[in-house]
Amino acid sequence: MHFQNEPASSEPTSARCAKHPSASATTICSRCGSYACTQCQYVGVNGQDYCVDCFLREGQGQVLAGRGERFIANLVDQFIIFLPWFGAVFLEVLLSEANVEQGVRSGPISLLGLLGTLAIAVYQLYLVSRNGQTIGKRMMKIRVVRTDGSRVSLGRILVLRNLIPGGLGSLCGLFSLIDALLIFNEDRRCVHDMLADTKVIKASSESGDV
């Protein structure tokens, strides 16, 4: 670990947060020396003040993922599984324009779509089992861990976090709504997080999470 000089004890008064220009800075990161506002300021286990990036980089603790980050990650994951089908439909249109016979083209194209979707599903499983990420979560640099911060097993994520909540949701739409709305809780844990004893945190770039 390398620290810069002790942060000035006189708190900056007119300085602005490096990430939020509208917020006034409340501290200086002890690692990179950038100004941080209350929202970006984290105190490490060593008692030093950090900006969120350095806090994660130094392995000082975990930071909950933002609601927006989780929302976009979900959207990406739901969309990406259909990508091969969009590709297949596109190909089908191209071939029909080229007057390729219906019977000749539709079989292989459906197979292509199916294989593509399967490949993405397998890749998602691989990512999840490796470090609790999906393609969407990887893009948003967030990951799923147990409430105590430890690794989550693939089975726990699949069954408790996806299968059961998905099943309950298809039985009763209200469940899905409540599940999703619980993100506005203080600890941002949805029903599926409670069932699986998980939380979603920001991944640190230097621990191989991203």
Using CB under 5 A as the criterion, which residues of the chain lie in contact with Zn ion when the complex forms?
A: 17, 19-20, 29, 31-32, 37, 39-40, 51, 54
Give the residues across from 27 on adjacent strands. Answer: 36
- DSSP element (H, E) containing 79: helix 67-80
- Give 53 or 209: the residue with its C-beta nearer to Zn ion: 53
d(CA 20, CA 14): 13
Distances (CA, A) of 153 to 72, 128, 146, 149, 165: 23, 8, 9, 12, 17
- Give 59 or 108: the residue with its C-beta nearer to Zn ion: 59
CB of 31 to Zn ion, least distance (A): 5
CB of 58 to Zn ion, least distance (A): 9
Residue 62 gets the label, from left (phi > 0), alpha (psi -120 to 50) or beta, of beta
CB of 57 to Zn ion, least distance (A): 8
- Give 61 or 87: the residue with its C-beta nearer to Zn ion: 61
Token pair for 87: 């590709």
CB of 23 to Zn ion, least distance (A): 5
CB of 65 to Zn ion, least distance (A): 16
- Give 40 or 65: the residue with its C-beta nearer to Zn ion: 40
Give the residues across from 24 on adjacent strands. Answer: 16
d(CA 115, CA 109): 10
Angle between helices 83-97 and 102-131 (to 10 degrees): 160
Cβ proximity of 54 and 29 under 8 Å: yes
- Give 39 or 207: the residue with its C-beta nearer to Zn ion: 39
